[in-house]
Amino acid sequence: MRINPLAALAVAALVAGCGSAAPSQVGTPAAPSTPAPSAAGGHSASASPAPSGQAQLNCSSAPTASPSANDLGAQLTGIQFVTPQHGWVVGQHQILTTSNGGASWTVQDQGQLNLTSVDFISTTTGWAAGASSLLTTSNGGQTWTALPEPCVPIRSVHFASAQIGFAIAGGSGQLGTSSGLAVSPAPEKAGVLLATSDGGHSWRQLSSPANAQSVCFTSPSNGWLGADGGLYRSTSGGQTWTQVTAGPRPEQAAQPYTMLVQCAGPSSVWGLDIGFGVASNQQPHVGYYASQGGAMPLFAEQYFPHPAVSVTAGAPGAYAGVLSAISPASAAYVDWCGACGAQGTAPWDLAANSGHLTRKGDVGGLTYATGASFLTPGQGWVVGEVWGAHDVQRIVRTDNGGATWQVQYSRS
């Protein structure tokens, strides 16, 4: 089933008392720094004292809202490899894993899971999250345990250790990107930033700019946040946030851009800022690289005006897709072609040397991507769909920088 990319579906309600702060620089009472990932898509192995000074969520009157099967399009929605051999893919109905680089895939869990993102800190410890599920494993997925959801359902998680993690929760709206993702890990509006110090069994709300959308930390003191289409940085362990870039101005204030962030290295981040709607079969979106020296736009969809964004390079494709941070020096951006609707029409770019773009052609075997996980510029996996009389879910892999692609999993 495909859902019209122009349709905006509200998928989660934010309860009163759980909102986030609006200023571009906000703070909380002094709290110990929180450990965080130190490598691209990776995580530090050490833990530090639990954060203090954050408010507990008030769940006394929280509504319960879960997406129905009809609200979900793409069946496979998230992917992560932690080694060249070990990887996981999650989606609406199942969790898949491989221990041989994708040569074969095993179903670890299945049912109405409604998962949109996955995060592993090792080959044994990981989490899977969606609009109605929050799961964890400590044995590589041999068993998955449901964690209690806070009053604002968690959409995505990013863990720094087995105990310390961060989450984006609640909010409403969807990314107007791929027709299959009606329930996105990044809310368009009213999302809040949470933290845990017990592996996700309980959560505290952190102060943040309004409309939190995605988050990651690159060191105990340095963190990055996508909120209201802007990019924010913290150098105080999340106690304060400073706006690095506001991103393009949306055509309508009620339809802000959605900033996705993925950390890389000790103080770097890659971003994808996605606007609402399409015109002339194109969609507004801008790619970013940022470090402690500031933010730099990499590309922008050229059909749309993007004031305050000085960049001449066009986007990989007409419609925004997904990104995969590889290192502080490289990342992969995979777009798609909304008007093409054919197999092998997911164009992608490789950003190298902290910003130089190389057009890599199309991801073979897919119409559009819902997730990507690259370990090096040459080796990566992309998950998504092929459209036809019956939509087909696929996982494809390249070992030569996209010169060729191998279909490793295919199921309608």
CATH number of 376's domain: 2.40.10
Q: pLDDT over 90 for what percent of the chain? A: 55
What does the pLDDT look like over 180-189, one tens digit per residue?
333 467 888 8
Residue 325 falls inside a structural domain: yes
User: What dihedral do alpha carbons 290, 292, 293, 297 form, nearest 10°?
Assistant: 10
The pLDDT of residue 16 is above 50? no
Residue 405 is part of which domain span? 316-412
Q: Output the pLDDT for position 50.
A: 32
Residue 410 falls inside a structural domain: yes
User: Would you put residue 101 in left (φ > 0), alpha (ψ -120 to 50) or beta?
Assistant: left
What does the pLDDT look like over 249-278, one tens digit per residue?
887 777 889 999 999 988 899 999 999 878
Separation between Cα atoms, residue 224 and residue 292, nearest integer Å: 11
Q: What is the mean pLDDT of residues 342-365?
A: 91
Residue 359 falls inside a structural domain: yes
Residue 306 falls inside a structural domain: no
Give the predicted TM-score (pTM) of the model.
0.83
What does the pLDDT look like over 121-172, one tens digit per residue?
999 999 999 978 999 999 999 999 999 999 888 999 998 889 988 999 988 8
| Residue 319 banded pLDDT, cuts 50, 70, 90 | very high
Closest among 157, 151, 102 to 125, alpha carbons compared: 157
The pLDDT of residue 313 is above 80? yes
The pLDDT of residue 11 is above 50? no
| Residue 64 banded pLDDT, cuts 50, 70, 90 | very low
Q: What is the mean pLDDT of residues 68-76?
A: 53
Q: What is the pLDDT of the chain when averaged over all its residues?
A: 80
Residue 209 falls inside a structural domain: no
| Residue 409 banded pLDDT, cuts 50, 70, 90 | very high
The pLDDT of residue 47 is above 70? no
In the chain, the number of structural domains is 1
Q: Output the pLDDT for position 28.
A: 34
| Residue 65 banded pLDDT, cuts 50, 70, 90 | very low
Residue 254 falls inside a structural domain: no
Residue 26 falls inside a structural domain: no
Separation between Cα atoms, residue 159 and residue 152, nearest integer Å: 18
Structure tokens at 165: 């993690």
Asked if 53 and 45 count as a contact pair (C-beta separation under 8 A), the reply is no
| Residue 329 banded pLDDT, cuts 50, 70, 90 | very high
Residue 197 falls inside a structural domain: no
User: What dihedral do alpha carbons 276, 279, 281, 282 form, nearest 10°?
Assistant: -50
Q: Output the pLDDT for position 220.
A: 65
